[in-house]
Structure formats: structure tokens, C-alpha cells
């Protein structure tokens, strides 16, 4: 679910876009962007060329808070363990990517005060350090870029984020995306459904776009 800032106090009130996907679509079209691209929500303050020793982290809904953090060489070695040695197949690499992202979230949670982030929006709504899908997709894209820049992705490349909306898909929702180079298939890498530090779901983007969500999850 995408939220939009409605106040400017120490902890803002949030106006939830909960009537239809039309509001988001109108904004996207007015900006001259495809709704599937979603990268119009990539804040100018975020580091566009992230590195292990300098990258941005978004939180507090729709990147209201942005901080710069880093991983030490020892932390990076631990994070990337699942991808060393290289995975023998694209499927195995996707499993390893999920584990690496979970490890990054765990470390970043301690560095930013976001360790208590709850899956979805409602469980932790209004609490500092929570993340909506804009925060999650920004951060996950950054983490994927770090893996790619280190030459650890042998079967995939990082692509622009994607947003789903409309009949069957529920409220607008955004995810990070990778592409299987050999199969030319795109996959959603979605951390938003789960609590901080849990492996993201990685699944075919078209299936994700149809409105997939974990069993019982209706928080969108």
C-alpha cells in the first residue's frame, strides 16, 4: 500500500490512498511516466550510484526519512556468503539473493532503527522506523545494485521497479525487479510482505502483478 504525507509535524499524519488505483495512475501519467516503471518515486536525495561503503536507506513511509549507511568488509563478506561460490543456476541464485537481502536488512535494521519494521503497513502503522512498499522497493533495489556491482549476480541483472494496480491486483503496490538473463524473464523481489530481516519473495513478475500475496495477507 502506498501512503502519502499529509502533515508536517514531528510524526506526520498519513493520508492513505485507499479508494482506488486511479490516484496513483493520474499522478504517474501527469509526470509522463509509465505506471509499471515506478522509479518516479526514487527521491532525489537517494544515492544513485550506491557502494558498499556509501548507500541510502529509506524508511518512515515513502522515503520520508533517508539516511546514508555503509557495510564493513567483514559485514559484506557475511552478507554475500550465499552467493560465494557462484550459484550453479538462475533458480539457485534467486534463493541466494533472497538470503543475502535478508542479511542486509538485519544489519541495516540495527544501523537505522528499522529492525522492528513489520510486514505490510498496518501492523506497525504510525511507529517510527516502519517501511511501506516505496521504502522497501527503494532499499531492495539498492541492495541488488550492490550485489550486481560486486559481480555476484551471474544469472540476473537489476531492472527498474514495477508497480501493480487495478482489478484483481488490489491497491497500488511497488516492488524491486531482477531479470533472468538467459530466460529473459523478470522477477519481483518483494520484501514488503514480511517483517524486517526475513527473505523477500522472489517470483515471476507477471504472477506478482496479478495480485499475488502470502496466504491471508490483505494489507494493501
Q: Report how far residue 125's alpha carbon sits from residue 128's, in angstroms, rounded to the nearest whole number.
A: 9
Q: Averaged over 15-33, what is the pLDDT? A: 39
- 3-class DSSP assignment, residue 94: helix
Q: Considering the chain, what percentage of its residues have pLDDT values greater than 70?
A: 74
How many Å apart are CA 54 and CA 198, to the nearest integer? 23
pLDDT for 180 beyond 90: yes
pTM of the shown model: 0.81
- pLDDT single digits (tens) 107-147: 999 999 999 999 987 666 677 889 999 999 999 999 999 99
Beta carbons within 8 Å of 27's beta carbon, 6+ residues apart: none
Amino acid at each position: 500500500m502506498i501512503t502519502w504525507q499529509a502533515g508536517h509535524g514531528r510524526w506526520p499524519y498519513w493520508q492513505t490512498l485507499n479508494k482506488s488505483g486511479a490516484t496513483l495512475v493520474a499522478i504517474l501519467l501527469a509526470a509522463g511516466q509509465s505506471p509499471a516503471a515506478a522509479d518516479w518515486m526514487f527521491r532525489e536525495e537517494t544515492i544513485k550510484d550506491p557502494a558498499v561503503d556509501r548507500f541510502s536507506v529509506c524508511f518512515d513511509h515513502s522515503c520520508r526519512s533517508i539516511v546514508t549507511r555503509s557495510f564493513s568488509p567483514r559485514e559484506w563478506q557475511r552478507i554475500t556468503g550465499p552467493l560465494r561460490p557462484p550459484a550453479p543456476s538462475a533458480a539457485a541464485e534467486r534463493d541466494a539473493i533472497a538470503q543475502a537481502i535478508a542479511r542486509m536488512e538485519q544489519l541495516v535494521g540495527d544501523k537505522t532503527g528499522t529492525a522492528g519494521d513489520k510486514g505490510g503497513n498496518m501492523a506497525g502503522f504510525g511507529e517510527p522506523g516502519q517501511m511501506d512498499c516505496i521504502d522497501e522497493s527503494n532499499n531492495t533495489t539498492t541492495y541488488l545494485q550492490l550485489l550486481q556491482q560486486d559481480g555476484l549476480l551471474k544469472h540476473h541483472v537489476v531492472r527498474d521497479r514495477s508497480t501493480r494496480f487495478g482489478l484483481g491486483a488490489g491497491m497500488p503496490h511497488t516492488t524491486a525487479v531482477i531479470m533472468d538473463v538467459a530466460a529473459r524473464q523478470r522477477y519481483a523481489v518483494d520484501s514488503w510482505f514480511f517483517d524486517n530481516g526475513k527473505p523477500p519473495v522472489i517470483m515471476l513478475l507477471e504472477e506478482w502483478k496479478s495480485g499475488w500475496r502470502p496466504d491471508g495477507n490483505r494489507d494493501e
